[in-house]
Structure 1
Amino acid sequence: MRKEMPAIHCLELTIPPLPQLLTIGHSFWPPGQQHFVRSFNVYDMLFVMKGTLYMTEDDVPYEINEGSMLILEPNRVHVGHRPCEETTEIYWIHFVHPAPVRTVDSGQIPWSIPSAKGTDHDVAPHRQVMYVPKFTSVNMLDIVPLLQRMLELHHALSPASSLPLQTQLAGLFVELQTAVRTQYAPRSRLLCDQAIAYLQHHLTRPFDAKHMEQTLHFHFDYVARCLKKYTSMSPLQYLHDLQVRTAKSLLENTELSVGEIGQRIGIENANYFIRLFRKQTGITPGQYRSARIGMT
């Protein structure tokens, strides 16, 4: 059975834009070296390969042990509250990001809840977010190659290497976010995500609780409880929500008839589709399409 990991704090950053790298460094701190007092408008991400780095941020002390990382946030006071006791190998990355930060427990991140998708009517991106751990242990075998490649690109910085360098930073964030999702999400959260993926994949299939149970290898009642815990919907309610959201996109972006759209989302009976759409939105599919066309 998968061991449950305690939740960790994650920083929620709005994207786009992606965070932008300022600098990256790698050094060995001898015993007795201690970080100076500093507060600046920059994120400072620290990775410890060997030894222990002792840092305090706004009176909150951290011991960054071997295989751990910490992100110090902009405009907070950070200082080494204790000198290194042994040779300590660290990588550091300074990056900037204009969006305000919010701290979220890893167990509360809605990993698989669908976000609004852009259409050809949009002129600005819909809000999207990324998550990175504030303070945690990481698999350095996955992280170090990214850090080393970033160092190489930074040392030979040129117009040819600037974009690959920023891309490597994005790859590092992907790695950290993946670790948060796979290591620190509670089992109920992961099963909720699996249930959502199942319903998305079987959007056009008639709802079958037994098939869902057999596919996910958990009792249907337990799957339903996990889904409801994070979405406030039963599996059937969530399927209907998915179908209506998909129908909205088809109404906005295609010239398919209402009946054809119903078939596209797995509802053969056009009258039933219209009733379901009206129940979910308060208007008929035709009224929705007319209203959206009137907005363009």
Structure 2
Amino acid sequence: MEIITFKIPPAPIFIKGGKATFRIGEKHFHRVFHIFDFIYVSKGTLYMKEGNNEYALKEGQYLFLSPGKAHGGYKGCVEETEYYWIHFTLEQSFEHMEKKEFDWWDIMVKDSTITESAEYNLHLPNYGTFRNEHRGEEAFIKIIELNQSSNPADKLRQQLYFYELMIELQQDAIDLPSSAQSVTDQMIQYIKQHYQEEQFTIRQMAKDLLYHPDYLTRCMKKMLGMTPVQYLNYYRIAMAKAKLVHEHLNLTTIARECGFSDVGYFSRIFKKREGITPGQYRRMRKDYDDK
């Protein structure tokens, strides 16, 4: 089984969507397309072939047909079959890879700063099943219903709803065990309660929560795409940003109140995450609020 992988942003671009019905004996015509064709079967079985691969798509299953590859039906439908289709394109390149286990650590490439957007790698199964068939069909209906609208705002919403559908598929493709979620939630609450402590350590948190430090790291990487140390710094910086905007404190005091014993280290971490220094951030927000 293959996965399709590509970087975002930019987001995939929705072109058009619709619904089709094949009667018994009918099948999809053959062609080579220059864009993606995304198919979701809501009733019956659709027999599709792409290159040398054959797929019997049953109710609740989907298939991505890639640009430049010949595709079409290899067999007529044996029952009335209904499916939704969406045509979309990518501005960036994409790859086909052999399916492997992956988690949010693989998805998250780079976090955002105040001047640069975050970067992600989407890893979408070429062929699969929605975990919740009802939600899958609802997502397609939501997009396609807007075809009838002449309101430009609705056309923009189609792009938004399509992007949400891609995220839904990505979440479906990642196996998120409930134990990892529970442990991560415990860590988040612990960090929020103790982030101001300058001597905060992952080892002490692991001891207090009764887990091994390595296990905590694996759980948070799987759920959030970052390590506990990275999340600690993320939360400390978030609290520091609020203080920079809403409190008249010097940088040394803010650093100390957010768990940083050294203002220089605080400034380096802040600039690495946000792209500007704490002082620049404060001045920028003040100028913005004064407008």
Q: Quick check: TM above 0.5?
A: yes
Q: 1:107 is matched with which residue?
A: 102
- Aligned residue runs from structure 1 range 167-182, under 5 A: 167-181=160-174
Deviations 1:165-189 (A, max 9, x none): 22221222232223223xx346797
Letter in 2 for 1:68: Q
Residues 228, 92 of structure 1: CA spacing in aligned structure 2 closer, same or farther, 3 A cutoff? Answer: closer
Tell me if 1:23 matches 2:16: yes
- Aligned mates of 1:259, 1:23 — CA distance in 2: 55
How far residue 208 of structure 1 moved from its aligned partner, in angstroms, is: 6.1
- Aligned mates of 2:221, 2:184 — CA distance in 1: 12
- Aligned mates of 1:132, 1:84 — CA distance in 2: 27
Residues 116, 72 of structure 1: CA spacing in aligned structure 2 closer, same or farther, 3 A cutoff? Answer: same
Q: 1:149 is matched with which residue?
A: 142
Q: Give SS of 1:83's match.
A: coil
- Aligned residue runs from structure 1 range 30-179, under 5 A: 30-102=23-95, 103=97, 105-110=100-105, 115-119=110-114, 122=115, 125-138=117-130, 139-179=132-172
- Aligned mates of 2:109, 2:186 — CA distance in 1: 13
Letter in 2 for 1:23: K
Structure 2 unaligned segments of length 5 or more: list them: 270-275, 282-291
Name the stretch that deviates more: 194-203 or 101-110: 194-203
How far residue 266 of structure 1 moved from its aligned partner, in angstroms, is: 1.3
- Aligned mates of 2:151, 2:231 — CA distance in 1: 50
Letter in 2 for 1:72: L
* 8 Å CA contact 2:25, 2:77 repeated in 1: yes
Q: 1:207 is matched with which residue?
A: 201
Structure 1 unaligned segments of length 5 or more: list them: 1-7, 281-287
- Aligned mates of 2:235, 2:141 — CA distance in 1: 45
Residues 196, 131 of structure 1: CA spacing in aligned structure 2 closer, same or farther, 3 A cutoff? Answer: farther
- Aligned mates of 1:199, 1:191 — CA distance in 2: 12
* 8 Å CA contact 1:24, 1:92 repeated in 2: yes
Residues 45, 189 of structure 1: CA spacing in aligned structure 2 closer, same or farther, 3 A cutoff? Answer: farther
Which of 211, 214, 218 lines up with 1:226 in the alignment? 218
- Aligned mates of 1:146, 1:157 — CA distance in 2: 20
Q: 1:263 is matched with which residue?
A: 256
Q: Give SS of 1:74's match.
A: coil
TM-score, length basis structure 1: 0.68
- Aligned mates of 1:14, 1:196 — CA distance in 2: 29
For these two proteins, the number of residue pairs brought into alignment is 266
- Aligned mates of 1:12, 1:186 — CA distance in 2: 23
TM-score, length basis structure 2: 0.69
Deviations 1:216-239 (A, max 9, x none): xx73356247359879x985x656
How far residue 69 of structure 1 moved from its aligned partner, in angstroms, is: 0.9
* 8 Å CA contact 2:107, 2:121 repeated in 1: no
Residues 143, 115 of structure 1: CA spacing in aligned structure 2 closer, same or farther, 3 A cutoff? Answer: same
Residues 23, 58 of structure 1: CA spacing in aligned structure 2 closer, same or farther, 3 A cutoff? Answer: same
Deviations 1:65-91 (A, max 9, x none): 111111112222222222222211111
- Aligned mates of 2:50, 2:232 — CA distance in 1: 46
Q: Give SS of 1:85's match.
A: coil
